[in-house]
Structure formats: C-alpha cells, structure tokens
Amino acid sequence: MPLFEIRNYHFNPAKFDEYKIWAEASAVPYLKRTLDVVGFWVRNEMTPEYKGSLPIDEGVQPANITWIIRWEDQAHKDRGDEEWGSDPEWKAIFGRVPGGRASYLRTEVKFATEL
C-alpha cells in the first residue's frame, strides 16, 4: 500500500518571492525527476479559512508551501531519503535556497495511507 509523505513548510515571507523563483527553476524540476511527487504547491493571495472549535494559535501563520511524495512503502521511503539526502546535485540546489536553511521557519511532515 502506498505511503504518502505530506510536507508543509512555513517559509520566511520576506524571502517567499525569491523562493518561488528558485523552486520553479531548480528544486521542483529536480524533485519531480527523482521522486514520485504527487504535487508541489505554493500559497496564493487568498485568505486561509479556519473552521472548527479549536482556537487559532497566535503567531503561527499557515504553511506557504505544501508538497506530497508517494512512496511504495516505508522501506522505499527510508532508502529514498538516504539517496536523496546524499545526492550532490540536490545538495548544490538546496545550498542556493534563498536565505539558507534558516528561512524554513517551521517544517511539518506527516505520513498517510490512502483509504
């Protein structure tokens, strides 16, 4: 059964326009070529909607980047993480992310299986 890795990033809003250019030109093409990327999305100007009874946390903005990777299973994900994380091409691409690693203010990764 496929495993889906859902990644949400809270990227520095001051660097977000630069990020979109970098991602479109370098990161997304690489990721789609080397991983089974279901989709890669960036937040637009529409106001987020919140529903439910839980209060909205002050100071935590919605993620402005979301992407999903499909893996065959957990073992495939573990092997893929090793290969992807050690790939010199990815290291060079990621080394040019606007503002560096510190621009990722928060990262959320969750795993899901399809019903």
- Report the domain count for the chain: 1
Residue 79 domain-assigned?
Answer: no
- What CATH number is attached to the domain comprising 10? 3.30.70.100
* SS3 (DSSP) at 87: coil
Residue 54 domain-assigned?
Answer: no
Residue 98 domain-assigned?
Answer: yes
Residue 5 domain-assigned?
Answer: yes
pLDDT digits (tens, 9 = 90+) for 32-69: 999 999 999 998 888 888 777 777 666 667 889 999 99
C-alpha torsion 64→97→68→34, nearest 10? 160
Residue 56 domain-assigned?
Answer: no
pLDDT digits (tens, 9 = 90+) for 5-17: 999 999 999 999 9
Residue 97 domain-assigned?
Answer: yes
Identify the domain containing residue 13 by its residue range: 1-43+61-69+85-115
Q: Which two tokens stand for residue 21?
A: 């250019």
